Structure 1
Amino acid sequence: MQLPGITLLVIDDDDMVRQSIAIHLEQCGFEVLQASHAREGLALVVSHSPALVLCDLYMSDMNGFELLAQIGEQASETPVVVISDDGVMSDVVEALRLGASDYLINPQADLEVLEHAVRRSLDRAHLRNENQRIRERLELANRELENHLRELRDDQTAGRQVQLNMLPATPWKSDEYLFEHRIIPSLYLSGDFVDYFRVSETQLAFYLADVSGHGASSAFVTVLLKFMTTRLLYEQRKQREQGPIAFQPSDVLGHINRSLISCNLGKHVTMLGGVIDEAQQTLTYSIGGHLPLPVLCVGGKAEYLQGKGRPVGLFAEAEYENHQIPLPPRFSLTLCSDGVLDCVEGATLKEKEDRLPILVGQAGGDMQTFMQLLGLEHAKVMPDDISVLLLSRTP
């Protein structure tokens, strides 16, 4: 049985045919309206919105083709089954062209065929209407998605600008020391960050950080890093108005470690940080779980600095060591995030790490040459954030 509440309309000026059709369709479970004239049927289409219309092709007050056209104008979604005593092919073609869903000849002769045609037309109309609703929902979802994507792009653009504004100038020269950096994000925002700045008249500080993960959440932590180091430097300067500041790399890593854990962001950082003492001609550095290690190049010979330490922001009990080396009159120091190793030839991580100092030595302290050797002279999509911090001393 058809679900109740489905109303059909039969329009036919032959009372016997119309009533025969109506009685059978009512027995099939439909609610059936009847109209003996085309204009009466049109009025019922407007007032009752039947789910389907059956109409005779030839009636006294209106041509069936004209009736089809008017139903199409007033209720375009309503399927119309045309019934006729004749099977003239030209009539069939014209009726279908005007939107009829089916064409039946002598329907009262086989009412089961009539019922089947009605149910088939209703199913097609239901499917068409459902597809239309799905298209409308998809169009709405697409519009909402486009709006969200536009907002996301705007947010990312703003975030990217904030991140760029936090980065130091490159290149930056301070007396004999030249600092340069390159950051290539795997996404629009980077989880890698570098900074370098003058601590006092005789001290220069720098660090490279690689935040776990990618995208906006990792980029947010780089903002925190900038704030933490700036705040720590401010506090140190308040305590010492003149002269060198006790800005030890291990203290910086320890301070950031405690702060990240207390923030409970679920993020950790691998870091390399150092302070150059121009008066003593020394470099003091500390390592927070970062690989690859810094590469020192002197006289064309490049080798890793030694040291180790736990990642920053994971272990509350973590302690960080300071390592100190004398600085030669001429040298370069290259710090890289682990994303750089994706650009180095080698079948294993060990082979890549062994080759990195060779590339640093070939670059000879020149950032552009080093990026060319890595194949990064042109922007490209990489699987991980890439950052390089290169400092050199040329008296």
Structure 2
Amino acid sequence: MQLTGTTLLVIDDDSAFRQNIATRLQNCGFEVLQAASAADGLQQFSAQRPELVLCNLHLAEPEGFASVLQAVSAAADASLVVIAPSTQMPQAVEALRAGAQDYLIKPMLDIAMVELVVKRTLDQSRLRIENRRIRERLEAANSELENRLQELKDDQAAGHQVQLNMLPQSPWVSGEYTFERRIIPSLYLSGDFVDYFRISDTQLAFYLADVSGHGASSAFATVLLKFMTTRLLYEQRRQGDSSPIAFLPSDVLGHINRGLISCKLGKHVTMLGGVIDETDNTLTYSIGGHLPLPLLYANGQATYLQGKGKPVGLFVDAQYENHKIDLPTAFSLVLCSDGVLDCVEGTTLRNKEAHLPAMVEKCEGNMQALLGSFGLQPGKVMPDDISLMVLSRNR
């Protein structure tokens, strides 16, 4: 039995044939409407909205069937079965091409065929309706997704612009020293960050940081790094003059370590920072779990600076050491994030780190040469964020 409310409409000017079909379908549980003309059928169709219309191909009215076909085709939730004599199968086929879903042969030798065709057509119609509704839901979901993606792109574009505005000028020359930096994000936003700035008339500071993870959350942590570093510098400058201050790299790493832990962002950072004293020509630096270590290029040789320390933002009791070296007359100091190691030959981390000094020597510590040697062309997509900073003095 069909579900209550399934309404059919039979349009045929042969009353005996129409009644025979209607009786059979009513016995199957359908609610059946009858019409002897196209005009009456169209009126009932408009008023009752049946799910299925069975219509004689050759009604007495001119264009009667065509009018019914047009009305049913325009209704999204209705189907049409054409009734035609066996001698007019070509016309029935044309009706199918024009929008009818199935056909019945007249005279009807097997009345059971009516029930079969009607149920088959209703099943197909309901499947078509369900598919259309699914497609509409998918289209609505896709539209919503596109809107969300556009919002995300807009947010990322704004975040990207914020990051660009936070980064220092490159190249930047201060006194005898030249700073250059390049950051290549694996996504639109980077978890790597580089900064360098003057802290007094005779002191220059810099750091390179690699935040765990990728994307927006890691990029947000770089904003926090900039804020915490600037705040610490401000607190130590409160005297209001430009005399040297005790801006020790270990203090900076310790300050950021406490800040990240208290913020509970679930992010940690590997970083290294340094302060150049132009008066005594020294570099004081501190390491916070960062690899590879900085490479000092001078007199044709590149050597790793020594030092170690725990990652920043993970351990409450982490302590960071300061290391102090005399700076050569002419040198380049190369700092990079571990993403650079993806661009270095070798099958293991140890192999790659062993090969890196030779690459720096070949490039003579030059930023552009290093970018070319690492294969970091503009627009190239990398598996990890990559940051590179070169500090140099050439006398």
In structure 2, how many angstroms separate the alpha carbons of the residues matched to 1:101 and 1:35? 20
Hey, what does 1:33 align to over in structure 2? Answer: 33
Q: Which amino acid aligns with 2:34?
A: Q
Hey, what does 1:146 align to over in structure 2? Answer: 146
In structure 1, how many angstroms separate the alpha carbons of the residues matched to 2:212 and 2:206? 20
Distance change >3 Å, CA 121–CA 107, structure 1 → 2: farther
Hey, what does 1:282 align to over in structure 2? Answer: 282
Q: How much does 1:344 deviate?
A: 0.4
In structure 2, how many angstroms separate the alpha carbons of the residues matched to 1:308 and 1:227? 25
Deviations 1:163-203 (A, max 9, x none): 01110111111111111111100011110000000111111
Deviates more, 1:101-110 or 1:25-34: 101-110
Q: Is the 8 A contact 2:192 2:210 kept in 1?
A: yes
Q: How much does 1:107 deviate?
A: 6.0
Hey, what does 1:47 align to over in structure 2? Answer: 47
- Equivalences for residues 341-356 of structure 1 within 5 A: 341-356=341-356
Q: Which amino acid aligns with 1:28?
A: C
In structure 2, how many angstroms separate the alpha carbons of the residues matched to 1:240 and 1:105? 101
Distance change >3 Å, CA 40–CA 297, structure 1 → 2: same
Hey, what does 1:250 align to over in structure 2? Answer: 250
In structure 2, how many angstroms separate the alpha carbons of the residues matched to 1:319 and 1:361? 33
Q: Is the 8 A contact 2:55 2:65 kept in 1?
A: no
Q: Is the 8 A contact 1:334 1:390 kept in 2?
A: yes
Q: How much does 1:379 deviate?
A: 3.2
In structure 2, how many angstroms separate the alpha carbons of the residues matched to 1:87 and 1:124? 27
Q: Which amino acid aligns with 2:359?
A: L
- Equivalences for residues 151-300 of structure 1 within 5 A: 151-239=151-239, 241-300=241-300
TM-score (norm 2): 0.96
Q: Is the 8 A contact 1:10 1:35 kept in 2?
A: yes
Deviates more, 1:58-67 or 1:147-156: 58-67
Q: Secondary structure at the match of 1:290?
A: coil
Deviates more, 1:84-93 or 1:145-154: 84-93
In structure 1, how many angstroms separate the alpha carbons of the residues matched to 2:2 and 2:42? 25
Q: Which amino acid aligns with 1:348?
A: T
Q: How much does 1:66 deviate?
A: 2.6
Hey, what does 2:310 align to over in structure 1? Answer: 310
- The unaligned stretches of length 5 or more in structure 1 are none
Hey, what does 1:372 align to over in structure 2? Answer: 372
Q: Secondary structure at the match of 1:152?
A: helix
Q: Is the 8 A contact 1:195 1:206 kept in 2?
A: yes
1:136 and 2:143 are equivalent in the alignment: no
In structure 2, how many angstroms separate the alpha carbons of the residues matched to 1:264 and 1:229? 18
Q: Which amino acid aligns with 1:156?
A: Q
Deviations 1:198-225 (A, max 9, x none): 1111111000000000111111111111
Q: How much does 1:329 deviate?
A: 1.0
Q: Is the 8 A contact 1:10 1:33 kept in 2?
A: yes
Q: How much does 1:84 deviate?
A: 3.1
Residue identity over aligned pairs, in percent, reads: 66
Q: How much does 1:74 deviate?
A: 5.0
- The unaligned stretches of length 5 or more in structure 2 are none
Distance change >3 Å, CA 104–CA 380, structure 1 → 2: same
Q: Secondary structure at the match of 1:243?
A: coil
Deviates more, 1:108-117 or 1:87-96: 87-96
In structure 2, how many angstroms separate the alpha carbons of the residues matched to 1:149 and 1:254? 38
Q: How much does 1:72 deviate?
A: 3.8
Hey, what does 2:78 align to over in structure 1? Answer: 78
Hey, what does 2:331 align to over in structure 1? Answer: 331
Q: Which amino acid aligns with 1:364?
A: E
Q: Is the 8 A contact 1:253 1:320 kept in 2?
A: yes
Deviates more, 1:320-329 or 1:125-134: 125-134
Distance change >3 Å, CA 19–CA 364, structure 1 → 2: same
Deviates more, 1:192-201 or 1:371-380: 371-380
